[in-house]
Amino acid sequence: MIWDNTVAAFARSYINGLSGSCRMVHSGGPYGENLAWGSPDLAGTAAVKMWVDERANYDYNSNSCVGGECLHYTQVVWRNSVRLGCAKVRCNNGGTIISCNYDPPGNYNGMKQQQEAQQQNQQSQQQILEDIVQQAEEYVHKAGPVD
């Protein structure tokens, strides 16, 4: 997975518009999308950890979420999603929203997770994503707020 400035610009543009309401509403855009919220702040690495921790709710044999949410997890590990762009915005109420977008999108409803990255690679995949999101945080911090 590689960082993509076009995907990141989409994420930034979209979540900038959420800063007033601080509601996590998906964009419906052309990318796979994971959203996370925290108050007063949320690190990108913490958002990725929340999404990856949903692995405990995913049953590979039945291709379903059991006992909770797991669709964030399946998007994070979707093998064919190779470009990532993330952004972070501070909401007017003091909360924080993080959006990570994936290109091409993955985890389509009804598709068996053959596209899912192999299980033994999960820790390394999580570390790669955490590193990319950390770089994104540094980029967002340097760029400052978007008008």
Note the pLDDT tens digit of each residue in 75-124: 888 888 889 999 999 999 999 999 999 999 987 665 655 444 445 455 66
Domain count, the chain: 1
The model's pLDDT over 89-99, given as tens digits with 9 standing for 90+, comes to 999 999 999 99
pTM of the model as a whole: 0.78
pLDDT at 147: 37
**What's 27's domain CATH number?**
3.40.33.10
Return the number of other C-beta atoms located less than 10 Å from residue 46's C-beta: 16
User: Which residues form the domain of 66?
Assistant: 2-143
Q: Rounded distance, CA 6 to CA 21, Å?
A: 25
Exposure pattern of 112-147 as b/e (b: 16+ CB <10 Å)?
A: ebeebbeeeebeebbeebbebbeebbebbeeeeeee
